[in-house]
Structure 1
Amino acid sequence: MPSREERLSAYAPVGRMALVTGGTQGIGRAVVEELAGLGARQEGLVICWALVFTCARNPADLEMLLGQCRAAGWDVQGIVADVSLAEDRQLLLDAVSEAFQGKLNVLFNNVGTNIRHATVDFTQAEFQRLISVNLESAFALSQLAHPLLKAGGDGIVIFNSSVAGGPTAMGSGSIYGLTKAALNQLAKNLTCEWAAKDNIRAVSVAPWYTATPLAQQVLQDKEYEGKVLERTPMGRIAQPQEVARVVSFLASPAASYVAGCTIPVDGGYSCKGFYM
């Protein structure tokens, strides 16, 4: 029978190294705080993530986050980087490799954006922007992180997807939906390629509306928000911490046999259908 210490360490192991992209706002920030904040001591036992690395485009936002983490006693590092740019992705992975001595356990591909139009109204530039930020960045970072995750000996790639990625459609724009569906499929392919050979799993999490700056752009319309809540069996939107806790579980050894799937974090949205 596992000891209490062994059970605790399965959920919050000492020595894990995580990279969280876009860690200053919304779900990304909640994940940084969740992983770093597990550095608690219980009866002398340290149950913490040793290191968390993040990035952001805004230097002031990044410095504020890192300062708050230092004040809390958390070990969080980061650099300014735009992961939609190839040169910045390389700089980020170089910095992570230096900070973690060439190893990594967790890559959380969090960065995403949206532009809401009817399909016929999208420009080529808008199409390319959504593909670059939502899909290309995650694919390319997974490629670049592969040797670090393999060297870490127990790796996982987690994609921040969305219920917009299926299996049903929702009105968040066709390009946004296709990028999220692609991330869900990428988790399957990476698992089949890397799980047995390199000991690297891949999964995606699919939130519904969550209290983040991106979602608030549409939820400030109270009529629209009412329609969202009507479709949500739990009757409320998610808090970023509720998504972060799922990410933390998936990143831990406690989820060591969870691979290649998409986990909805949606308050029951995806199961409702036509239910009066």
Structure 2
Amino acid sequence: MWNLNNKIALITGGSKGIGKACVEEFARLGASIIFTARKKEDIVRLENELRAKNYDATGLVADAVVKEDQDKIITTIQEKWGKLDILVNNAGINIRKKALEYTEEEYRKVIEINQFSVLEISLKLHPLLKISGNSKIINIASVAATQDVGTGVPYAMSKAAMLQQTRSLAVEWAGDGIRVNAVSPWFTSTPLTKGLLKEEERMQPIIRRTPLKRVAEASEMANIVAFLAMDQSSYITGQNIIADGGMSINAI
């Protein structure tokens, strides 16, 4: 029973990091997947990897914040399957700066992608999720949504808003057979954090604060997302699963 057989899933930002790990784990568990990325070469590379394993996964060049691309995603799913069982809102960005150093364009860009596009895609996909009758939305948030971890104010704001969106839609859409949850990772080894985690002065405080004494692997986040996407998590909705190696309970 611990599988995603016959499930149809959309994973945004699916060519790298946690998104890619989710695509690979969902495929291994038997789901049919459509994933998005902004670069064609990233899509082709991952598609080839997955097809070599006989997995059912299709990539789509799309930017989550562009309205035309959002509509392209919805149209593709509508024409190919006519419904959607799982939506993983993973696409996002960060610009790490002190609050006073941001330009208006920079902080608006972070919030547009991390907050507004997630809401817009969820709203546009609601009809297809409702048709499923047993669908799940999993939003990839961050521990920055609830604690200051030095990732920048706009990023933290956008992820905090994502958590409240998760809670509110979980209540509003429960009657439509849609469960909505979030996963909040701590520092995770991905292409986006690779450079930062190589800096000894940044890495040591992270390890010191984390009881498990390491950063997470992207696959560890994907495992949690996969559980929330399964029918086995059927009584969980409106929750934020904090996956931080114990960081948030480590007072000293």
The TM-score bracket by the shorter chain reads: over 0.9
Q: Deviations over 1:125-180 (max 9, x none)?
A: 001110111111111110011000000111111100000000x2221111100101
Written as runs of structure 1 = structure 2, the 5 A alignment for 1:31-180 is 31-38=22-29, 48-49=30-31, 51-100=32-81, 102-166=82-146, 168-180=147-159
1:29-80 deviation digits (Å, cap 9, x = unpaired) = 0000000012xxxxxxxxx22x111011000110111111111110001210
Distance 2:160 2:249 in 1: 18
Counterpart CA distance in 2 for 1:249 and 1:26 is 18
Provide the C-alpha distance between the structure 1 equivalents of 2:97 and 2:220, rounded to a whole number of angstroms: 29
The ranges of structure 1 where at least 4 consecutive aligned residues each deviate by more than 3 angstroms after the TM superposition are none
CA distance in 2, matches of 1:217, 1:163: 20
- Corresponding residue of 1:183: 162
Measured after TM superposition, the shift of residue 122 of structure 1 is 1.1
Cα deviation digits, residues 188-243 of structure 1 (max 9, x gap): 00011001x20101110000000011112311211210111001110000000000
- Unaligned segments of structure 1, at least 5 residues: 1-8, 39-47
Aligned match for 2:207, one of 213, 222, 229: 229
Partner in structure 2 of residue 44 of structure 1: none
Aligned equivalent of 2:19: 28
The alignment's C-alpha RMSD in Å is: 0.9
Q: Is the 8 A contact 2:33 2:56 kept in 1?
A: yes
The superposition leaves residues 94-147 of structure 1 with CA deviations (integer Å, 9 ceiling, x where unpaired) of 1122221x1011000001111111111111100111011111111111001100
Q: Give the secondary-structure state (helix, strand or coil) at the position aligned to 2:64.
A: coil
For 1:202 and 1:87, the matched residues in 2 are separated by 25
Instruction: Give the number of the structure whose alpha-carbon radius of gyration is greater.
Output: 1
Counterpart-to-counterpart distance in 1, 2:137 and 2:251: 30
**Counterpart of 2:180 in 1: which secondary structure?**
strand
| Partner SS for 2:189 | coil
How far did 1:247 drift? Answer: 0.2
Q: What amino acid does structure 2 have at the position aligned with 1:86?
A: K
The aligned length equals 252
Unaligned runs of 5+ in 2: none
Match of 2:184, SS state, is strand
SS at the partner of 2:92?
coil
- Where does residue 254 of structure 1 map in the other structure? 232
Question: Under a length normalisation based on structure 1, what TM-score does the superposition of the two structures give?
Answer: 0.89
CA contact (8 A) 2:4 2:26 kept: no
Looking at structure 2, the residues matched to 169 and 222 of structure 1 have their Cα atoms a distance apart, in angstroms, of: 20
Percent identity of paired positions between Structure 1 and Structure 2: 38
